Every structure is written in structure tokens, then in C-alpha cells.
Structure 1
Amino acid sequence: MAYIKNWRDQQPEVAHLSAIRWPGLRQRNAEPKHGEDDSPQLHNIQGIVKHGLQGRKTSDHHKHAQMEQAYYIISGSGEVLVGEDRFAVRPGDAVYLPADIYHQMFNDMNDEWLEHLVLSKNIDTEPGGECVIRNWEDVLPVSDGAGAIRWHQLGPAGEENTGCLKSIAFIDREAVQPGQQSIARCYDGIELGFWILENRGILVTSDGEQHITEGDVVHLPPGMSYHIKNPHSEWFSYMIIAG
């Protein structure tokens, strides 16, 4: 069965000065944080972690020498410093952070929380690069030929318009319309992580059906075939990271 865990069922901690961090998914060889911590599941990706930065606060100023990251903004607005440049961010943004570049998150201009996912994967090439910010609303949607629509937000370096990633395969947003389902997909050698953004649906694999809902993080190991059903009356939306 696919691993599914809602962030509300995980124990948070304070990290990066002022961020509340929920473990989400971590590398399978990572040290468990406590006796009931089952977040170490990932084969290739380093982490799919939720951060909440309260109003009037910032995170610390830091970098990761051989790890690229992307932030996916869930709610709230703020600013991110990447190198010497500061950028505004809003819900639906995918923000690429190159390896070995200092970065910092700012929410000190707001009273509301800024919630975002931190997506991480080690690189085996030279670090560096440019920050890329791409909101799903600025991307042309593509139908899968069945009942799902996908917005391709970030892709591998060299890809036209979206290319920046050196190790992560892609970061997409997908929505399944009411009463429909996606096509079946399978990625050999690539694992998938899903973060459910809106409403409810059903994940279907060879192991059967599993219900998934807003706030769930889902892990599919490499080579697992799946499709997603939406038997409800609202659109069902989620973020996908592949690596």
C-alpha cells in the first residue's frame, strides 16, 4: 500500500529560528524523531516537509551545499531572499532554490501564517543556478485525456520555460474533476510524493483503494502504477514531486 499520513497526525518541532515544522516524508535511512515516527519512507528524494511561519517572523539565513530545494506555497504571502535578491511569494507558487545559495523566508510584514512545503533532493552536479518562481495560474493546463488537468510548474534544467531542476524530475499541480478519474501512470526508477491541497479523492494502486484528503502526504515508491478517482462534487487538487 502507498504510505499516507496527514500533517495533523504528526508531531511538529521548531526549526530554522521561527518555523513550525512537520516531518512529512523523509529519507528512509533518516533517524526517527521519536518512537512513533514513520516519516522515513523516501528512496531518492530527501524530504517533503511542511513549514508554518507565523506572522511577524522570519526564518534563518542558510544554505545547503549539495541539495536543491523548492518551496511550494500553500497559504499566506511573504517574501523569499535567494542570494542577494528578494521575491514576493503567494499561494500556488513553486519556488526553486539552487544548491549552495543562501536563502531565507520572510513573513514579518503580515499577521497571518505563511504555510509552505519544503521539497529537497541531493544533486550530483555542480551547485548554483538561478531562482525560478512559477505559479500554477501562469501555466497553461494540459489534459491527461481522461478526467485530470495538470499544470507543469517546474521541470529539468534545459526544458523550455520551466527548466531549472538538476535532480528533482518535476513539480506539478494536478486536479481531477468531479465524478472523473485520471489516467493510470507509472514511472520506472522515479518515486512520487503527493501533497493534497484541496478536498478528497481515492488513490488506486495494485494494492487497492485508499482514501486521501486535504493535508495528506502520499508516497509512491518507484515503479508503482496508480490512478486517482474523484467521486465527489468538488474538484480534487494536489501537488506532485517526482525524483
Structure 2
Amino acid sequence: MIFKAKEMPVNQIDAQMTIVQYSSVDHSKKFNVVKGVLSGKHGLTINNRSDRAYYILNGNGKVTVGEEIFDVGKDDLVIIPSGFAHGLVGDLEFLIITAPAFDPADEESI
């Protein structure tokens, strides 16, 4: 299976963040991958079911995981276990890998 960027849906999450959905729960319930672009702040959220990894493609910023704040840049990988609050600030382009696949019902904003 291949996902072509120009064929994937683009979603505006909020005023600062846009994602491209490379996979969906229709194709795999085990994991999904999205490409995100952030210019500003994406507030704290908790996913109560899925683990998540953010791979930074470009840019610089900060990622909060639980009580810790990490400076991030190109080629950094941040692992976020389920149940941990997390958020991002900066000008970043990144991949989000979520396993099991993202379900909005499992996500809560803080």
C-alpha cells in the first residue's frame, strides 16, 4: 500500500496546526501516520489509549511530555506514552506515528 501526499486529505487542527493524514483507521487499526506543520502553539492533550512518536522533519521548538519540556529540532524523535499530557510550541514540521491508530474519542484537551 502506498499513500501519495498529493492525494491525502489536509486538515486544519487549529489556527496554528495543519496535518496531512497519510493513513487512517480505515486502512490500519494498528497505527497511523500524519505529517504536521505547526507555527505557534498546540496546547496540551492526553491520549488515553495510544502511544505516540513525533519525528521532527524541520524547524525548532519545544515539546512538553508530562512535566518535562524538551528543545527539539531536525531529526529529533520524541516518544509519548499513552496517558501523558503533551503539547508543542514553535515552528515545526513533523511526523506523528500513533499506535494503536488515532481515534479522536481517546484524545482530551487539558
- Aligned letter for 1:42? S
Alignment partners' CA distance in 2, 1:14 and 1:63? 19
Higher strand share: 2
The one-letter code matched in structure 1 to 2:11 is E
- Higher RCO, Cα 8 Å, sep 6+: 2
Residue matched to 2:30: 44
Q: What TM-score does the superposition give when structure 2 sets the normalisation length?
A: 0.82
Shift of 1:43: 4.3
C-alpha change, 1:50 and 1:72, in structure 2 (3 Å) is same
Cα RMSD of the aligned pairs, angstroms, is 1.5
What is the SS of the residue equivalent to 1:4? coil
Q: How far, CA to CA, are the matches of 1:13 and 1:43 in structure 2?
A: 20
Determine whether 1:84 maps to 2:67: yes
**What count of residue pairs does the alignment treat as equivalent?**
100
Contact 1:7 1:24 in 2 (8 A): yes
What are structure 2's unaligned runs of at least 5 residues? 101-110
Alignment match of 2:99 (pick from 121, 130, 152): 121
Report whether the alignment pairs 1:4 with 2:2.
yes
Q: Is the 8 A contact 1:17 1:60 kept in 2?
A: no
Larger Rg: 1
Task: Give 1:236's aligned residue.
Answer: none
TM-score (normalizing by structure 1): 0.39
Which residue matches 2:41? 58
Where in structure 1 are there 5+ consecutive unaligned residues?
29-40, 108-112, 123-243
Report deviation, 1:59. 0.6
